[in-house]
Amino acid sequence: MSDQRPLILHVIHHLFIGGLENGLVNLVNRLPEYRFRHAIACIEDYSDFRNRLHRRDVAVYPLYRSRNGIWKIRAEIYRLCRRLRPAIVHTRNLSGLDALLPARLAGVSRTVHGEHGWTVDDLDGAHWKPALLRRLHSPLVGRYVAVSKDLECYLVGRVGIAPARVRQIYNGVDTERFAPVQDKSGTVLPDGFLDRDPVVIGTVGRLQSVKDQATLVRAFAHLVRNEAALASSARLVIVGDGPLAADLRTLIGDLGIDRLVFMPGAIEDVAPLLQAFDVFVLPSLAEGISNTVLEAMATGLPVLATAVGGNCEIVDDGNTGRLFRPRDEATLAQLLAEYVRNAKLRGDHGRAARRSAVERFGLDVMVEQYQALYASLCHDSKDAAPSSQHATSRPAG
């Protein structure tokens, strides 16, 4: 018998560790299995991050654009859509646009395109070429999803999308997995790293220029150099890996703060590390909606974040944390000093952050909104029947 559940083909750049990718995995894992099937096409490739998918019936298809070229992957997407017959193709970010025309030519009538954030080459959406590409592809998109109001305004005001075609859906966080702990004595940080009464400042993210961890390193060095009373307790943890890892280690060495900084690399499960932090910092130059900020808030941490993109929508300045200008290491050092000195301030802001995460950004809220979107699209049209094929096997690379 044919499987009547609608198949959703998600198209992303790659399935590596990252905020967008984590959001997709959470969505696939949480949507009712009896309601939808899923497949994932990666414009480039995937890593063992794929193993976070709980469902075994989700195939992941690597397309290797950098190796095969754009026209070959467009042909492959066309063939994939003809074979799988997805009810909906859901593309994400700029590289996902390349899948829209092949999907339409293959007979897919229902498409969703999501915008999840900015790149280092276009930090605020001001460049004309990406906006033009999005506008040219807009006739191929049925519905848009923006993960922040900032991105929603960009789609409507800069790209020229009709407001009725755009839905704003915040990322969600698992507030049970990411939760405060009363006793931090079982810390996952290395022996000898913490002195008595430590205050751990932490960040989590890919080590690349748009995340700008270097500003945090310089601000921390400024803090311990100019606040001698705080140097004995302040510690910095930078979680993540990426192209700037070696440069950051060199900077830390040049600033003479090696013994105060811990860089464990990429960590599969960051929840225990967040529970060991006292303050979370996101120094990014641009953001959509940061999953790591939401995870830190759910863990009950005050958040220091740059006043860019969706950060301004989720961090309540002076209540759940503080906002500062990008690359402003002097202000960041001052804000860090306030939190390191004042345990009550950390506690007050951390509790408010936890409440905000639970009330506004729960994972179930996000899943319900996407489920409603997909269900409305499937109900709107009957000309693209659900696939009779299961996406159960791993395709050849």
Burial class (CB in 10 A: 0-12, 13-18, 19+), 183: exposed
At 390 the pLDDT is: 38
Asked if the structure places residue 336 within a domain, the reply is yes
Asked if the structure places residue 180 within a domain, the reply is no
Same domain flag for 352 and 207 = yes
Strand 166-168 with 303-306, pairing: unpaired
Asked if the structure places residue 385 within a domain, the reply is no
Same domain flag for 18 and 124 = yes
Which range of residues forms the domain containing residue 157?
7-172+362-380
Whole-angstrom distance, CA of residue 128 vs CA of residue 120: 15
Whole-angstrom distance, CA of residue 169 vs CA of residue 376: 15
Q: What is the mean pLDDT of each run of 10 residues along the chain (397 residues)?
A: 87 90 93 96 94 93 95 97 97 96 97 89 84 96 95 96 96 94 77 80 94 97 90 92 95 95 92 95 93 96 96 96 97 97 97 96 94 90 37 41
At 387 the pLDDT is: 36
Round the CA-based radius of gyration of the chain to a whole number and report it: 22
Asked if the structure places residue 391 within a domain, the reply is no
Same domain flag for 230 and 151 = no
Asked if the structure places residue 393 within a domain, the reply is no
Asked if the structure places residue 192 within a domain, the reply is no
Specify the CATH number for the domain of residue 42: 3.40.50.2000
- As for how many domains the chain has, the answer is 2
Q: What is the largest CA-CA distance in the chain?
A: 72
Asked if the structure places residue 191 within a domain, the reply is no
Task: Give the 3-state secondary structure of 267-291.
Answer: CCCCHHHHHHCCEEEECCCCCCCCH
Same domain flag for 37 and 136 = yes
At 186 the pLDDT is: 60
CB 43 within 8 A of CB 14: yes
Same domain flag for 232 and 162 = no
Tokens for 282? 């996101």
Same domain flag for 35 and 151 = yes
Same domain flag for 334 and 240 = yes
- 232-275, pLDDT tens digit by residue? 889 999 999 999 999 999 999 999 999 999 999 988 889 999 99
Residues in the chain: 397
Same domain flag for 219 and 304 = yes
